[in-house]
Chains A and B, each alone.
Chain A
Amino acid sequence: MSGSGYLDATLKPEGWNRPPVIEPDGEGELLEVAMGPHHPSTHGVFRMDVALDGERVIRLKPVFGYLHRNHEKLAEGMSYLASMPFTDRLDYICPMTNNWAYALAVEKLTGQEVPERAEYLRVICGELTRVVNHASAVGFLIQEMGASGTPLMYAFKEREKVLDLFESLTGARMMVNYMRFGGCRVDATPAWLDGVRKVVAGLPKFVGEFESLLTGNEILMARTQGVGILKPDLAVNAGITGPMLRASGVNYDIRKVDGYGIYNRFKFRVPLGDHGDVFDRFMIRLLELRESLQILEQALKDIPGGPVMDPKAKLRGFRPKPGEAYGRIEAPKGELGFYLISDGSPNPYRYRVRPPSLINLTVLEDMCLGQNVADVVLIFGSVDIVLGEVDR
């Protein structure tokens, strides 16, 4: 295949895409490979058009949109309540945090208060979601390295316990549809809270096992250290958030910066990496898992009684005053924000999701240039995306 295939044609308009940083060495021709859309490592339907010089990546173009479901426009045509279950389906590994971000945006728009107990329940559900997401993200990353199955299944074993908790609280394992504007849909029973305490008490053992399984492993270190480096200045300029930004050494956690909800009441640390490579991204997730357990323990100790819904909150048929609101939270994958404009009608005039997965993907080419093609899969896995959120 020559270097002037369709890939070049799509990249042609100069200025639209950056010129490639890596120049081919002049021997032989470039090989163009379309990785995806059905590639086992892509976590869904996603394509990477890669130009290779031998095994080195010269260019990489991410192509997405295969899973587009018109989420934003659909939400503009229905009431505020009716788009809540659709937010579950954005990042389907972490439905609780999606609910939370959307509820936060609508609460800002309408000026609703959230009762104390509901705030605690939100923190508990949000942090359990983070545990699930980080454990499975690490499991998927190891799977992409070739350890098919075992580490991922260990992560999923733990995930199943959390999903059982979600099911007994909300009625569904994944599509929870739990949070409402001004609180949470149902109250947690004491038995449920005891169940959470039991799961949280068992998690440090799991994290320890997981770490001894992986972190000292020479193959893992050789494959991940110094691979896919993301420089902090590029990360900041590209708007990267979440564990990826912190792995590059930038101290930015919206739980600390905004203190949304009641996060300023909890004591927890923000782990930071200093190389910004795949190994750092992997370790940051394991360390954040431990910090989430700290938050969970504090929240479970302090949770007060009382209602879980603001008695003044309306379920349906409310009309927010004309205006705009942006609610953002630290979702497990980064900054998840919902931007709403109200024109005084029961539907939002404009509804926009700021998905961390999509924006974290924009630096994929920068991380992959000059790397081996086998590492592209690994670097892509370390971004930790869910295609439901990228394409919406």
Chain B
Amino acid sequence: MLGEGILKGLAETARNFAGSFVSAERLTTVEYPEQRIAPIEATRDFPFLVYDGTDPEAGLRCVACQICEKECPPKCIYIVKSTDKKPDYVGKLQIYPARFDIDISVCMSCQICVEVCPFEAIKMDTAFELATTDRFGGLLYDKKELSKSNEHYHAIHPTEAAEVDARLAEEKAKGEAKAKAAAAAALAKAAAPAAATPVPKPAAPAATVPAVKPAEGERNRDR
């Protein structure tokens, strides 16, 4: 019969229309500003800088190595290195960014800065309601606006943040062990000519060398 196909199609449309009143599966939209879909954990949009503790200046993990600035595909990161140094999370003196700007009107949320960062210092945020009336200055985020605490990172990406914390703790422990071993080796070296007993020597390199090398090789990142 001519028109049978059209009627069959119309029946399908009617089923979907009527079904949307009773079945949640057929009603797929939400009334956005009032109703919100629960955010997905892996969601990313724009980068932020992580700091430990409470002070955004002192706790900033970034050491201004400029790898992210170099690798950023749309070149939206701008970094100025500091002239002095401050201690980082393992207590080593490091350069810090005197200026760290991200133009989020240029940023394309690709996450490459996060992947290449060897210091777990830059991560992706999930805030998306960022509209502003000033499209130049308002979308150029400086260090102050970009710095967010590790707690914030834990709140938005709990699984990922826990992994990062575990990795950093491990590295810190390794760093401390290395420092201790180095101190012991130095002590032994100082003691060796006097006492002429090479007892602690084999212990020191065995503790230091394998402890550091695999960690670097495994992450494939420049330091």
Contacts and interface: CB of A to CB of B under 8 A. Distances in A.
Contacts of B132: none
A217 B9 contact: yes
Interface of A: 78-79, 81-86, 88, 150, 154, 157, 160, 164, 167-172, 175, 177, 185-186, 209, 212-221, 311, 313-317
Given A213-B12, A215-B5, 5 more contacts: A85-B108, A167-B43, A172-B44, A185-B115, A213-B8
Interface in B202-223: 218, 220-222
B130 interface: no
Contacts of A150: 13
B145 interface: no
A377 B5 CA distance: 23
Interface of B: 2-6, 8-9, 12-13, 16, 28, 40-44, 67, 71-73, 108-112, 115-116, 124, 218, 220-222
Contacts of B43: 167, 171-172
A218 B112 contact: no
Given A81-B71, A160-B28, A218 B111 contact: no
Contacts of B4: 216, 218
Contacts of A313: 220
A316 B71 contact: yes
A82 B218 contact: no
A315 B44 CA distance: 20
Contact of A213 (B2, B13, B44, B67): B13
Given A160-B28, A218-B3, A315-B116, A213 B9 contact: yes
A171 B16 contact: no
Contacts of A212: 8-9, 12
Contacts of A172: 43-44, 109
Nearest to A85: B110
Given A160-B28, A171-B44, A81 B112 contact: yes
A217 B73 contact: no
Contacts of A84: 110, 112
A218 B6 CA distance: 7
A234 to B, nearest CB: 31
Contact of A177 (B12, B41, B110): B110
B109 A175 contact: yes
A216 B112 contact: no
A82 B12 contact: no
A271 to B, nearest CB: 21
Contacts of A82: 71-73, 112
A218 B5 contact: yes
Given A171-B124, A212-B12, A315-B220, A79 B110 contact: no
A82 B108 CA distance: 12
Given A85-B73, A170-B42, A315-B116, A175 B5 contact: no
